[in-house]
A and B are shown apart, each in its own frame.
Chain A
Amino acid sequence: MGYLMPGDDEGIDAMAEASLPAAPRIRRRHLWVPWLVALITLFLWWLVTALKLFPPVALPSPGAVVHQLVVTATIGYSGSTLWADIGASVGRITVGFVAAVIVGVPIGFWMASNRVIFAAVDPLLQFLRPIPPLAYIPVMVIWFGTGELGKTVLIFFCTIPIIIISAMSGVKNVQETRLRVAQVFGATPLQQFRYVVLPSALPEIFTGMRVGIGVAWTCLVAAEMIAAQSGLGSMIETAGGELQISVVFVGILFIGLIGYLMEFIIRTIEHRMVPWKGKA
């Protein structure tokens, strides 16, 4: 065979590809581990209750919790079903959280691009940040009562500093070379923002959102326990008062599951929107 000419490489590629084995399967064998852990935990729980090591008012059996789940889901507990309480909680967090993102991201961008705005907002932000959001709950009750508005505002205020800070640091971490690329080609400030600044800031904004949703959820459940007639927090608070421990367990189970689910949703959106994260 003689020298290969530029056009001949298709032949080489075809040859090489034909003899390649199929793409290696990603081993997913470790995926059963969490299920096994869950199963063992469930079994131990059942064992402890079956041996009656604790009185049933303190620790309900798995069977009792499942039974209570069916009851709260269908008949309801203290006037409202499980779904109604979940709906109330999820509705509040969605409105408060989305509002915090919509307002917080532009404020963060603005602070990163304008020293005066930064100087005006940053001290306030640094002052608010170390305050546990739970400390606002009494203020919320006094100002807004126990209605929907108070809790939505509370979520908004406990999430927004996190979102602002992540958007701001996302912008500040833009790689200089990438900005210069846009400037070289004569990009307008708007084009620089659209094609370089915004995509550079997205990974950090998503990180902020993932942290923020966790904080918001914790804060909401606490607020519902203190001042609400509906929601998962209110449900476990009422049940606790009536020593209905299995209802409390159902509530805790769903608080955990929903928190997990919300983080998962944000992570999925992140994977779609920032596929290059960690690779560049």
Chain B
Amino acid sequence: MIELAEVTKAYYGAKGQDPLVAVNGVSLTIQDGEFLAIVGPSGCGKTTLLNLVAGFEAPTQGRVELDQEAITRPGPERAVVFQQPSLLPWMTVAENIAFGVMLKAGRVGVDPHQLAHMVHMMGLDGFESHRPYQLSGGMQQRVAIARALMTEPRILLMDEPFGALDAQTRSDMQRFLLELWKVNRPTVLFVTHDVEEAVLLGDRVVVMTARPGQIALDIVIDLPRPRQWDLVLSHEFNQYKRRILQVLRPDRKSSRIG
């Protein structure tokens, strides 16, 4: 169980400048095996929230705990898919995907079948010995996802993992992620800016306000699984979507398009 209690994170800039409050008084409990989607406007502190759970940053106030113990540093049970490019350019695609396993078990500890399967599922066949700079942006992102999944972590922290993918690949990846989740039941914290994706994947969606990020809505998505693609056309689905969008864009001005 992951627990955030009254968590505030402020960044202190140069002397004399006001500290920048990225996350303000967030309380959140995530059960084991839960799939939590987080949406919110750009700059509202979603990445900051993941960084706190990952253990890259310490909260300015409040507690961040995993199984009742304070999180003080990153750990292999919490795999991260970063928003920024994070592949190691000196390694091949295969070496990047196997990186986590290799650190733990050495080169011989990497199961070639598991690696081949992961490469295949990510649609990267034939690119095993390419270098990251020889891949497209979407392919690089898939390598980063594969690297996180390879270690079969208990907790998956994913920061807009499918942002750089086209619609088709994105839904392939979503299906793959859900299938994997169904089998291994990791706890997933999934940050996205796509409300539809959040409702489609999540057991629960947390909506954050603009900076300083607070929780504006915490809603359980009570839709049956396995979910079909045509779910997005259903009435219930659109009800959820409407409620979330109403929170994200409360005033008429910001919701006007044309």
**Contact surface of A with B, Cβ cutoff 8 Å:** 177-178, 180-187, 191, 195-196, 199, 274-276, 279-280
Contacts and interface: CB of A to CB of B under 8 A. Distances in A.
Given A177-B84, A276-B131, A184 B74 contact: yes
B247 interface: no
Contacts of B100: 184-185
Interface of B: 54, 56, 73-76, 78-80, 82, 84-86, 88-91, 99-100, 103-104, 131-133, 147, 151
Nearest to A13: B126
B121 to A, nearest CB: 11
Nearest to B99: A185
B78 A184 contact: yes
Q: Indicate the member of A180, A184, A186, A195 with the most B CB atoms within 10 Å.
A: A184
Contacts of A177: 82, 84-86
B76 A184 contact: yes
Judged by DSSP, the binding face of B is loop
Nearest to A195: B88
A105 B139 CA distance: 35
A276 B54 CA distance: 29
A279 B89 contact: yes
Given A185-B151, A186-B103, A191-B103, A180 B88 contact: no
Contacts of B89: 276, 279-280
B86 A185 contact: no
Given A195-B88, A279-B133, A181 B99 contact: yes
A205 to B, nearest CB: 14
Contacts of A275: 131
Nearest to A180: B56
Given A185-B100, A196-B88, A180 B74 contact: yes
A199 B132 CA distance: 15
25 contacts: A177-B82, A177-B85, A180-B56, A180-B74, A181-B86, A181-B88, A181-B99, A183-B56, A184-B75, A184-B78, A185-B79, A185-B104, A185-B151, A195-B88, A195-B91, A195-B99, A195-B103, A274-B90, A275-B131, A276-B90, A279-B131, A279-B133, A280-B89, A280-B132, A280-B133
A187 B89 CA distance: 18
B2 to A, nearest CB: 16
Nearest to B88: A178
Given A184-B76, A187-B103, A195-B91, 9 more contacts: A177-B82, A180-B56, A180-B74, A181-B80, A183-B73, A196-B88, A275-B131, A276-B133, A279-B133
A178 B147 CA distance: 13
Contact of A185 (B56, B90, B103): B103
A38 B179 CA distance: 67
Contacts of A191: 103
Nearest to B54: A184
Nearest to B150: A185
Contacts of A180: 54, 56, 74, 80, 82, 86
Q: Indicate the member of B84, B89, B100 with the most A CB atoms within 10 Å.
A: B89
Nearest to A182: B103
A266 B147 CA distance: 34
A182 B86 CA distance: 10
A156 to B, nearest CB: 30
Contacts of B132: 280
A184 B158 CA distance: 13
A276 B74 CA distance: 28
Nearest to A183: B74
A181 B90 contact: no
A280 B80 CA distance: 20
Q: Which 3 A-B pairs have the closest CB atoms?
A: A280-B89, A185-B100, A186-B76
